[in-house]
Structure 1
Amino acid sequence: METTQRQQTESRIRELRQAIEALEQELNKDDDAVKEHAMIDHLDQYIDAVDTKVSSLKAFWQSLKQEWKTR
């Protein structure tokens, strides 16, 4: 009877370890998702900055063309 109880205890410990490993994997997936969202947000900010620079360059180019035409 004692051997059976020990085997059951060991089996339960294995199950708990597997459950903990599964939870850790899920947590890592969540961390990766958070990192991906942060990267996407950063990319959006970068694209906005590039758009602003392009708009500024276009405005500068238009004013430069206008200045050349008046000379």
Structure 2
Amino acid sequence: MYSFMGVFTTAIFWSFELIFDGIFNYQYAKYLGALIGLTIGYIIKYNLDKRFVFNMEQHQPSQDKKV
């Protein structure tokens, strides 16, 4: 799951970089797109990892269950 989150956010980064490079006729447009994409990607990755990968409640058995 952790690896998938990394691939997903890397695709966001590359998409922003390529879109900015293609749309704007400016020398540093792809770097601006990369910065924006990287920022958005890391924010999304942090939240997804916190919810799905490093969620301790999800990985621990419930204490309420009786055997």
TM bin, normalised by shorter chain, reads 0.3 to 0.5
TM-score (norm: length of structure 2) = 0.47
TM-score (norm: length of structure 1) = 0.45
Relative contact order higher in (CA < 8 Å, ≥ 6 apart): 2
| Richer in helix (by share) | 1
Structure number with larger C-alpha Rg: 1
